[in-house]
Amino acid sequence: MARILSLVLFLTTGFTSATYLLNGAQEAVFDADATTACLQAFNTTLSCPSSVQLLSYDLSYLSWTESNLTELCTTACYTSLLSLESAVSTACGEYSLSFNGGNLTALQIVDLFTYKYNISCLTDIATETFCLVLEETWDITALNDSGEATWPLYTNKTYPDWVGDPVAGTPLLDADENIVENPFNPPPVFTWTNITDMDLTGKDFFVSDPGNDSSIWGTTEMLEYDEFPLEIQCSSCFLDRFILGIESQWGEVYDEITEQIWSNIQQNCEISQTINPAHNLSGGPSGLGPLVWTTTVCDQTISWTETSNYTTCDDLAIANNVPSASIMYMNDVLCNIIPNGTYCASESCQIAVLDDNYSAARFLSSSSAYENITIMQFQTWNAYIDLNNMRLGEAVCVGAPGGTYTPATSTVALANPTAYTTTATPAVSTPSGTITNCGLYYEVQSGDECNTVSLNFTITLAEFLEMNPAINSTCGNLEVGVDYCVATVAGTTITVAPSSSTSSVPVTTTSSFVAAPTQTVTGTTSECYEWFVVASGDSCSTITSEYDITFAQFQVWNTYIDAACDNLWADYAYCVSSPLTASSSASITSTSSPTTTTSSATATQTYVAAPTQTVTGTTSECYEWFVVASGDSCSTITSEYDITFAQFQVWNTYIDAACDNLWADYAYCVSSPLTASSSAPTTSTLSPTTTTSSATATQTYVAAPTQTVTGTTADCYEWYVVQSGDDCSTLEDGYGITLAEIRAWNTYVDAACDNLWGDYAYCVDSDLAS
């Protein structure tokens, strides 16, 4: 069972609504001499769920269930795989590609998936239960202990004696020491001999076999196929899987040992069925284990210098919220040798750092924080990871990846509603090096991890480690019963002068300004002694009453506040004590980033910076933001802010038509002067825009919100992301354009328009002639 050849395809482009086997990655991983027709053949649509793309992985990697197997194993899916096989055979012929010292034809790649599909979809004849599900109930130890195991009688085999005679080409001997005709040509360079007494039964192998391969079906002993109890060995699932493996080039190697095993199985199970062994895969060197393809697509670049204090890929991954494996595989570097420079990385995500060596299944069951993540989701988010061998200290995605990570400017969690303005006293001991300006401590409990602590207090893992430098990079020394800092005191003290008049000239004083505990809106003074973080339900009157100040003072210190006070932002800090007066406020320097007032906005409206990270395609010309929480949807957002979905998409172009790609803890614009054909000057957050001579003065090109196919123009004013079921008529009717225009702006589209790719962006408005 340990001799199954496997091929692992790591696809970095995610899964699509319309399912394609390689999901568009073939151009990145195939050799340069692949024909266009061959590449396009792999874009044959499959009538399968996206899980079909994971079939190249070892079956033990994925948590197959009755539900997702029922979804996968349909006549429509299998028929579409055969159609793909036919299309690839016709278009690619004998084209082969080389990697890791081996050669594969394009058709063999499809055959791998078809073989794994057939293995995955096997069902038990008696119960019609999927074999992968039924095998989870097999327990050899329990069967033996209960006395119900029927151990096989026929297990005799001869094996190569590597130790006794590793080089001599002596003939094979059977159990009676008769010479066996040697099927090898030339003969093997080892002696074949029997390594066990002929009187041993299958139970003897189970009890005394020295092997310790891997735990399977209730035993860690390394049993051959003919040594399992007959309750398992003679079941339809076991036999069908063995036969299917032998008859496929991707299954078991059929050699002298396998031939003996099959003969024994036939006698044990009293069957006469024959096997037609497949030819072994030629050119594939043995002993490689899983073969890995990686694409050269660089989702983002990250960098560090000698001053960054990063020593491993894990340090760099944690600092940029990317999985460690993506840095290693996309840049071909070792994790513990990572020189300063710029590196490719996958898209940023919410990460966790492993506190032990894990398999994916064990890691996801280690904490309630991950209990709703499936193996397939985890694999999708961590495209380069080895699900069976995740290592201590490795950073992994525990949420969907997306836009470039933008670190928050505040050292206090953005979602934390409380601002700590005084230093807290720890209730128990703290580790050495813990910051002195700590506003809140947490005593670690049994079962806590750095990941769960930082999640509970809505701070990043990097912030938690920065506050508590005694914790090592793997979080392996987190101590139960010790206090750790989970929030800083609000800002750093700066010695300045209060004013004895309306002047802002400093004078000697013992007072000091305090930095804002969290983000502020544009127009908030930095010359502030005390801050208030607004919560839902607060109003200007409650604030001014609580701090015994006038509304006029509150407006001087927070100039963004309008006369109606209807633009307070929850979780933002507002100054409630300052030396500034109305006549001195002209000297205010905003703590926020510079703003740009548009001609179409009123004099009191200014753009404000996003309170947290944003996804690609979010406008920076925004008056108000909404940070998505778990359970939010586009309909709840548009309803709450009395805007249309069309407006929401204009301001947040990454949002697709189904609104199924909202990201929790990311900010989305909910108020902007921009329209679909906005007359306001725009500055795209995607990339710098270029105005064409033929466009109106207010029209600018915008970057595509997601990936595009070859031949798509960059001179585009509007984009459409194709969904499952779309065709060119969808674009024509929806945008009032012709097929000729579609093909002029998206030259990859053919005359029949049968090669649209799901989740790819196509230009639907351009000034290019058709």
pLDDT, one tens digit per residue, over 49-88 is 888 888 877 676 566 888 889 999 999 999 999 999 999 9
Distance of CA 54 to the CA centre of its chain: 14
Six token digits for residue 167: 């080089």
pLDDT one-digit tens code per residue, 287-331: 333 334 444 467 788 887 655 566 788 888 888 888 998 888 787
Angle in degrees, CA 33, 35, 36, rounded to 5: 130
Range with lowest mean pLDDT among 472-481, 505-514, 611-620, 710-719: 505-514
CATH C-level class of 593-686: alpha beta
The residues near 648 (Cβ < 8 Å, ≥ 6 apart) are 634, 637, 638, 655, 668, 670
User: How confident is the model at residue 445, as a pLDDT?
Assistant: 84
Q: What is the DSSP string of 433-450?
A: T--SSEEEEEE--TT--H
pLDDT (mean) for 748-762? 78
Query: Which letter does DSSP use for residue 366 in this model?
Result: S
* CATH topology agreement for domains 593-686 and 698-770: yes
Quickly name the fold that domain 698-770 has.
Answer: Membrane-bound Lytic Murein Transglycosylase D; Chain A (3.10.350)
Residue ranges per structural domain of the chain = 1-157+201-297, 158-193, 300-397, 593-686, 698-770
Select from 445, 442, 449 the least CA-distant residue to 420: 442
Q: pTM for the complete prediction? A: 0.41
User: Which residue, among 705, 714, 702, 707, has the nearest Cα to 745 in the 3D structure?
Assistant: 714
Select the more confidently predicted residue: 376 or 712: 712
Judge if the upstream peptide bond of residue 187 is cis by omega within 30 degrees of 0: no
In the chain, the amino acid numbered 621 is: E
What pLDDT digit, counting tens, does each position of 557-588 carry? 888 787 778 777 777 788 988 888 765 443 33
Least confident of 75-84, 244-253, 420-429, 443-452: 420-429
Query: Which residue do the tokens 């969808």 mark?
Result: 730
Q: If you average pLDDT over every residue of the chain, what do you get? A: 71
Q: Show the DSSP H helices in 412-478 as ranges.
A: 450-456, 461-467
pLDDT for the residue numbered 448: 79
Looking at the predicted structure, is the pLDDT value of residue 502 above 60?
no
Stated as kind and residue range, the H or E segment containing 174 is: none
Highest mean pLDDT among 144-153, 164-173, 194-203, 397-406 belongs to 144-153
- DSSP-derived pairing of the beta strands 512-514 and 493-495: antiparallel
DSSP character at residue 358: B
**Which tokens in the block code for residue 228?**
């399992």
Whose structure tokens read 């390689």? 22
Q: Which two tokens stand for residue 559?
A: 């100039």
Instruction: Encode pLDDT of 165-203 as tens digits.
Output: 444 434 455 556 655 544 433 333 333 444 443 444 555
Phi, psi (degrees; rounded to nearest 5) at 512: -150, 150
**Count of C-beta atoms within a 10 Å radius of residue 649:** 18
Provide the pLDDT for residue 89: 92
